Structures are given as structure tokens and as C-alpha cells.
Structure 1
Amino acid sequence: MRLTLGDRILKVNHAGEHGAVHIYAGQRLLARFTAPAVCAGLADKQAHETRHRAIFAAELARRALPRCRSYWLCAMGGYFLGICTGLLGAQAIAATTVAVERVVLLHLQQQLQTLQGQDSAATESIEAILADEQAHHDDAAAQLKPGQFWPRLLDPLVAGATSAVIWLGMRL
């Protein structure tokens, strides 16, 4: 069975949302101790990511497609990233969200341009999550304090890892 570009994009996005659910799960686990003030916001973001994952899962099911091979890699990597940044506190949590969402938003915009006029169902699925992803980015960016250490360290690492996972997922 030959996958269309829209099929591959949906599979990767589904896996990415699974990873995002696990980032927030790991952060929530430790933020209770290191940054309790952000826990409610993390729960809201995790609920959004769970809904996003369901949107992509429904479209995969409609197309009778299996999950992406990177699905569990995204979960394990996301949970590890969430645990590590949750341990480091509110600024690390916010910096992680900004870095991930910046890459994801760019990726989603590129997908929409690529799919324009080719796959309306995939396009609709992507458009259904864009506002939430932008809100996650903007909310986290507003929480960052100027001159903090964690954003400077984590931004290139997290953005690079996120880009690498997307690249790998598109090729698995």
C-alpha cells in the first residue's frame, strides 16, 4: 500500500500529538513539587493535545491506516522531556513549550501549504488544532522571564529534537 503525502503527514502529526500528551504528563508529575502554580495550565494543555491526538486518530481510522512507527518513540521521548523539564521548574516548562510549539507551528503551516488543494480532510484536521497550538506557544512565551538560563539552554535542544523527530517520522 502506497501512502499519500497526506497519509504520512497525518500519521506523523498523530504521533507528535501523542508525544505532546506525554510531555505534559511528565511535566505535571513533577510540577506539583517544583512549580505548582503552572499545574492547571499544564492540565488544560494536555487536554488540548489529547483532543488533537483524537482528531488525527479518527482520520487515520477513516483511512484504515496504522499509527506511525514513531508513535511510541514520541511517547517515550516526550515523557522523558516532560520529566526533565518538570524537575527544572516553571521557566524550563515554559521554555520547552515555546520551543516545541514554534517548531510545530512552522511544520503545520508548511503542511498546509504543501497540501493545499490536494487533501481536504488532512487540511481540515491540521486547521482544527492550529489555534490551540498557537495559544500554547503564546501562553508559555508570556510566562518566560527575560535573562533566564533555561530558555537559552533548552530552546535549541528542544527545537532541534522536535525537528529531528518530525523528520524521522516522515521517513519511517
Structure 2
Amino acid sequence: MKVDHAGEHGAVNIYAAQIFMARFTAPTFVQELLEFKSHEEKHRSLFSAELQRRGLRRCRSYWLCGIGGFILGLFTGLLGAQAISATTAAVERVVLKHLQEQLLSLAHIDEGAVAVISEIVAEEQQHHDQSISHLIPGHILSNVINRVVTISTESVIWIGMRA
């Protein structure tokens, strides 16, 4: 739950920075990004409530995720629509895998966590699928961003799970 909360904070910051940059580089994406950001803010609040309910502090990587997310969002937002879409698709693919693994491991152990995670999965899948629909197959920038963002997101989750 702690790493999920930190990850949602990172996602909020990715979208905040992308929204700022997209106003100049991909204005047709701004509404979609605003919607995605509102979902991530809700997810962050749900995980925050679960941490509070359990008497847990937030993950040590919370601020790292926020700062890293903002920098990633600025950079990819500057590069335009393909970079924005590739970033969202890559992040959400990794996050969805992580959340599915959590659902399996928490089934019959923590129904509260399962309920919260289940509520979030559909919106994360929506973000992924909409972003994939914007990608141009074989676009070199998208392929590079996909690899870098996938490795980075997996690393942040791995570090967060051990912090």
C-alpha cells in the first residue's frame, strides 16, 4: 500500500507536468490528461486513507516518486503527443502488472486492500488503453521512451517495496 500511494503521487506529478507542457506541444491532449490526473488524485487519496486506517506512514520513496514523476512529465510533455502517450502506456503497463500481483497475493488476506486495488485497476487500464490508441506503431521515440520508462517504473516499484 505504501509503494502504491507513492506511485500514485508520482503519477499525479507526471500528469501535472505533462499538462503544463502539452498546452504548448500537444493541446488536443490536455483534456485527456486532466481526466487521467483526476483519477490519479483519487487513487492517491484512496491509498492514503488505507495507510491511515492501518496506522502506517507513507513510503520513504513518496517524494522521490513525486519529483521524478514531475521531471519525467516535463521532459515527455516537451517532446509532444507520442512521448506523452508512450509514457502513460509504459507506466500503466508496469503498474497494472504490479496491481494484479498484489490482488493475487492479498486475496483472502486483506479484503480492504483488495477492494481498493480492484477499484483502481479499471481506470489504470483505461489510461493504458487510451494511450496505446494514440501511438504510431514503430515510432522510434515511442519505442525508446517505452523502454526507459518501463525500466524506471519497475525500478521505482522495486526500490519502494524494499524501502
TM bucket (normalised to shorter chain) is: over 0.9
Moved over 4 A (4+): none
Listed one character per residue, the Cα deviations across residues 107-145 of structure 1 (whole Å, up to 9, x for unaligned) are: 100111111111111111111100000000000000111
Per-residue deviation, 1:28 = 0.6
Of residues 54, 74, 82 in structure 2, which corresponds to 1:91? 82
Match of 2:98 in 1: 107
2:11 maps to what in 1? 20
The question of 1:65 aligning with 2:56 is answered yes
User: Is 2:109 the counterpart of 1:118?
Assistant: yes
Question: How far apart are 1:151 and its partner, in Å?
Answer: 1.1
In the TM superposition, what is the alpha-carbon distance from 1:147 to its structure 2 partner? Answer: 2.7
Give the corresponding residue for 2:138.
147
1:11-50 equivalences in 2 (<5 Å): 11-50=2-41
Gaps of 5+ in 2: none
What amino acid sits opposite 1:137 in the alignment?
Answer: H
2:148 aligned with 1:157: yes
For residue 147 of structure 1, give the secondary structure of its aligned residue in structure 2: coil
Distance in 2 (CA, whole Å) between partners of 1:90 and 1:110 is: 30
- Cα RMSD after superposing both structures: 0.6
Aligned to 2:126: 135
How many residue pairs match? The answer is 163
User: TM-score, normalized by length of structure 2?
Assistant: 0.98
TM-score, reference length from structure 1: 0.93
Aligned partners of 2:91 and 2:120: how far apart in 1? 15
C-alpha distance in structure 2 between counterparts of 1:134 and 1:160, whole Å: 19
Alpha-carbon offset, residue 59 of structure 1: 0.7
| Distance in 1, Cα, partners of 2:5 & 2:22 | 26
